Structure 1
Amino acid sequence: MTVPVFRFAPSPNGPLHLGHALSALLNADMAAESGGRMLVRIEDVDVTRARPEYERAILDDLDWLGIGYETPVRRQSEHADDYAAALDRLAALGLVYRSFMSRTEIAAAIAAEEARNGRPWPRDPDGAPLYPAADRDRPVDEAQALAAAGRPSALRLDMEKAVRLAGPLSWREFGDGLGGPGETVAADAAAWGDVVLAGKFAPAAYHLAVVVDDALQGVTDVVRGRDLYFSTAVHRLLQTLLGLPAPRYHHHRLIVGADGRKLSKSRGSEGLAALRAADATAADVRRMVGLAVRH
């Protein structure tokens, strides 16, 4: 019988808040209940945002919460070769192209197209506009010349080709629990358009890195926030294209602030360290995120 493997995978670009605590605690609780393993992965592939002091703070917070995990932790920054190998496999399938448009150029192209045809430009499930097709249709030799000349670029997935190659996809969703049969959810990766696979400052973007890491670490159960629910479609697509196993997915409720919005590092949501400094306990945090206190 396969031993379940769970992972908590924070990015060291800010302090953990209550939303992270819920995710970490659910992973640890499910690992304990199932007799499984608990891993921690530091998602520091974006070197422009990752900070070692935040990594230390994250591990301190997990220790304070009483979450045990296997060591050593996996750091994405130490595994660029794994992501390069995955990119090479996708490129060999003819699914990768180099994109050069800046945010300003993207916005201008979209505005011009909307003015021309009078229809809103399509957007992904997070509300971001889909990437225009200009670079995807650019001749390879021209793209190579631009890159050689030092033009900033990113590597993107040709979503139309990828979806056609992979065929219909789905995932098994189990919510924030271990029991029950779960449900089959159709994976609509095309809704995300030509997603970034790697950028100037990162050997792999989130979507690619997470599926490679989960497969290499033998993760069987992905427990994460509902804000990543629709992203699972892209992950299932990449798993299929790369021949990687599909874990079970558990997307849990989000912790929201007084304004009704999910907690966020970028908006300065109160960190766990601040709660600890105010003499809160790990049991208090469990109550605050709606989990029973364990004795």
Structure 2
Amino acid sequence: MSKHGTYIGRFAPSPSGPLHFGSMVAALGSYLDARHYRGQWLLRIEDVDRPRVVPGAEDAIFRTLETFGLEWDGAVVCQRDREQAYAAALSRLKEGARVFACACSRREIADSVLARDGSHRYPGTCRNGLPPGRAARAWRFRATPGEVCFDDSLQGRICEDVDADVGDFVLFRADGLFAYQLAVVVDDADAGVTHVARGADLIDSTCRQILLQRALGFPTPQYMHFPVVVNAAGEKLSKQTLAAAVDTLPPADVMFRCLAFLGQCPPPELARAGVATIRQWAIENWNRRLVPRQRTGLAPGEQREYV
């Protein structure tokens, strides 16, 4: 909880397909943490990356959450409606010389070293000005040396030197779209989000987001990163790995298995109850300390242990 007792959490799915079991783990975990601590739970559609949007996915997300009784507070926020807020934040960063124009293409940085998240670390080509005859394609945040650290409620102390490990990262893309890192920071700040509970696949973005929060004068939320659901091959469940949409499965069974994945030890008899009964039990008995403190966990029915 925050020092003032206020809790504002959120669930922020991308409409790139229907919710699958891994998505529901993040949705249910963030919902239960908010409701257990008598907080708000907001819903945001993260569609800033327009090429990844699948027609109909947004409505499918709404229907699925309603089926599971995961009611959200207030109006749904969509990133497609927030471009003015992102532009204003980028302008502030420009005024403070915290960003610079970049002319580099992906091909031009393809030979650079890899960052922790598997992307190519930017080599700083345009840091001191655009090369002669080159026009700006994107805007990058000017990273500074030194570790950024935060205490994750599940994963413990996390530190990263963004300058050394990632380099200057993109805030405004060459295709004219704002980057996820900027959008999520502005959205969380504007909504007053105090607690971010999400999958551990996003943990490597957190230090970049903290740098942006500091540069823009925004508060840093409390972070909690749940284990990401993977298959037996160690692949994150997704549309690409043919993960089944949860709206094709019995809702009570999905919710029970999500609770088991999150370490909440639901009693066996609860498996025969309805969604509303399971949800109420889960809100009352939610315990962060029982959630496995790993970055990945095996999907139900797969034959591997947490790693």
TM-score scaled by length of structure 1: 0.81
Contact 2:140 2:171 in 1 (8 A): yes
Report what 2:295 is aligned to.
none
| Inter-partner Cα distance in structure 1 for 2:171 and 2:239 | 23
Q: CA deviation at 1:209?
A: 0.7
For structure 1, the 5+ residue unaligned runs are 111-120, 148-152, 177-182
For residues 15-74 of structure 1, the C-alpha deviation after alignment (integer angstroms, 9 at most, x for no partner) is 211111000001111111100001010011122222451100111111112101023101
Q: CA deviation at 1:168?
A: 5.2
CA RMSD of aligned residues (A): 2.1
Q: CA deviation at 1:102?
A: 2.6
For residues 115-152 of structure 1, the C-alpha deviation after alignment (integer angstroms, 9 at most, x for no partner) is xxxxxx43211122212322334348855xx25xxxxx
Q: Which amino acid aligns with 2:129?
A: R
Report what 1:251 is aligned to.
225
**Which of these residues, 148, 163, 177, is aligned with residue 169 of structure 1?**
148
Report what 1:192 is aligned to.
166
Equivalent residues in 2 for 1:34-49, closer than 5 Å: 34-49=37-52
Equivalent residues in 2 for 1:135-150, closer than 5 Å: 135-139=126-130, 142-143=133-134, 146-147=135-136
Equivalent residues in 2 for 1:47-66, closer than 5 Å: 47-66=50-69
Q: Does residue 191 of structure 2 align to residue 217 of structure 1?
A: yes
Give 3-state SS (helix, strand or coil) of 2:230's partner. Answer: coil
Q: CA deviation at 1:265?
A: 2.8
| Inter-partner Cα distance in structure 1 for 2:26 and 2:178 | 23
Give 3-state SS (helix, strand or coil) of 2:231's partner. Answer: coil
Q: Does residue 254 of structure 2 align to residue 285 of structure 1?
A: yes
| Inter-partner Cα distance in structure 2 for 1:38 and 1:141 | 50
The change in CA–CA distance for 1:266 and 1:138 in structure 2 (over 3 A counts) is farther
Contact 1:47 1:201 in 2 (8 A): no
Q: Which amino acid aligns with 1:212?
A: V
Report what 1:125 is aligned to.
116
Q: Does residue 139 of structure 2 align to residue 155 of structure 1?
A: yes
For structure 2, the 5+ residue unaligned runs are 267-277, 282-307
Structure 1 consecutive aligned stretches of length 4 or more whose deviation exceeds 4 Å: 140-143
Structure with more relative contact order (C-alpha pairs < 8 Å, separation 6 or more): 1
Contact 2:124 2:167 in 1 (8 A): no
Report what 2:212 is aligned to.
238
Give 3-state SS (helix, strand or coil) of 1:267's partner. Answer: coil
Contact 2:101 2:130 in 1 (8 A): no
For residues 71-123 of structure 1, the C-alpha deviation after alignment (integer angstroms, 9 at most, x for no partner) is 3101111011111111111111212222233333332xx2xxxxxxxxxx432
Q: Which amino acid aligns with 2:138?
A: A
**Which of these residues, 13, 18, 24, is aligned with residue 16 of structure 2?**
13
The change in CA–CA distance for 1:100 and 1:8 in structure 2 (over 3 A counts) is same
Q: Which amino acid aligns with 2:43?
A: V
Q: Which amino acid aligns with 1:86?
A: A
| Inter-partner Cα distance in structure 2 for 1:75 and 1:37 | 18
| Inter-partner Cα distance in structure 2 for 1:154 and 1:268 | 34
| Inter-partner Cα distance in structure 1 for 2:74 and 2:239 | 26
Contact 1:257 1:263 in 2 (8 A): yes
Give 3-state SS (helix, strand or coil) of 2:71's partner. Answer: coil
Report what 1:93 is aligned to.
96
Q: Does residue 247 of structure 2 align to residue 273 of structure 1?
A: yes
**Matched pairs, number:** 260
Q: CA deviation at 1:203?
A: 3.8
